[in-house]
Amino acid sequence: MISLTPGAGAINTMSNSIAIGFRRSLWGILGQQLALVTHIIIVAAGVGLLVSSSPLTFHIIRYAGAAYLAYLGIRKWIDKGDVSAEEIAGLGAMRSHSMLFRGFWVNLLNPKAIVFFLAFMPSFINPDRPLLPQYVILTLTVVGIDVIVMWLVFAALARQLRRVTTSPGGQLVLNRIFGTLFIVVGIALALI
């Protein structure tokens, strides 16, 4: 259910799917999963408890995440939407690399993920058994479910909208919509 809740990761996935295509949007999703794994490692190491109990650290991460989402939104607004299919195809690995890192930062700078994992993980971890195998199974489960939801729900939904982006005007409208969504989520992260 958490993966199905629209947020910055879902917006990032949909934006990538529309701009670059359904298959290649997987790069951004993989970046988001690297961030989830990082969050789980942070929580498992006990650092997550420090972050959630330190208002200053939590706010620094929260505001950095909000600023990054606003930055992504502004970049979408500035983008004129006039990239041709040939130019997109020519971006190759660099675009995939860019999507991977953007997905990573979108999820990593979400302090609510650390708090979520702090609340969620203890109920699935038995301290009387070896911890590493439990964390590995939990991580694989969380990542597996999130990849399925992000790719087969959000990216697939956006795939249907891609037809609208065949014209520069359609690309511009969708850039403005996703830019606005990134900014709104950034503002919500900063204020809530």
| Per-residue model confidence as pLDDT tens digits over 131-143 | 899 999 999 999 9
User: What is the distance between the alpha carbons of residues 119 and 180, in angstroms, rounded to a whole number?
Assistant: 31
Instruction: For residue range 94-118, list pLDDT tens digits in order.
Output: 478 888 999 999 899 877 777 778 7
Q: Which of 38-52, 70-84, 85-99, 161-175 has the lowest mean pLDDT?
A: 85-99
Beta carbons within 8 Å of 97's beta carbon, 6+ residues apart: 27
Whether the CB-CB separation of 165 and 18 falls below 8 Å is answered with yes
Give the torsion sign (CA, 99, 103, 104, 106).
positive
Indicate if the pLDDT at residue 174 is higher than 70. Answer: yes
CA quadruple 20, 22, 28, 31: dihedral positive or negative?
negative
Two structure tokens written together for 29: 């999703």
* Residues 49-52: contacts with CB under 8 Å, at least 24 apart: 49/118, 51/111, 51/114, 52/111, 52/114, 52/115, 52/118
The mean per-residue pLDDT over the stretch 185-189 comes to 84
Helix axes 131-149, 26-44, angle to 10 degrees: 150
